[in-house]
Structure 1
């Protein structure tokens, strides 16, 4: 499930999530479009906020998936 769908299902707006995490709203938009991923220290807060696990939040990709390979290389950044 996409980050945006999880946020909406949990009943939050981008501004509410950005305020809860103390980050710019543009960062939330980047997460939702797949241009960036949340930093590890934000994951527990997001999971609690959305009522899900961290794995569900990240929609953990299968081994060999292009996104997973990119993550393992460390090419994705927290902010765009």
Structure 2
């Protein structure tokens, strides 16, 4: 089963606003990623992977294969 960014965020019990404060990325950017309107840079993929405690491949797959 594919994982998407929204599912990862919800499993962590966070709103987009809470997540944005914790990782230093705007809520609008997180929303844009979750809706597939934009994609995170390589640097932000690494930041997301670290934040969620997953391999960067999980984030990459969530973005490109969902």
TM-score relative to the length of structure 2:
0.76
Q: What are the ranges of 5 or more consecutive residues in structure 2 without an aligned counterpart?
A: none
Between 1 and 2, higher relative CO (CA 8 Å, sep ≥ 6) is seen in 2
What's the RMSD between the two structures over aligned residues?
A: 1.8
Q: Which residue is equivalent to 1:46? A: 48
> Matches of residues 1-80 of structure 1 in structure 2 within 5 Å?
1-59=3-61, 61=64
Task: Name the count of aligned residue pairs.
Answer: 62
Instruction: Give the number of the structure whose alpha-carbon radius of gyration is greater.
Output: 1
Q: Structure 1 residue 12: deviation in Å?
A: 2.2
1:12-61, Cα deviation, whole Å (9 max, x unpaired): 22112212332221110000011111111112221111121111112165
TM-score relative to the length of structure 1:
0.65
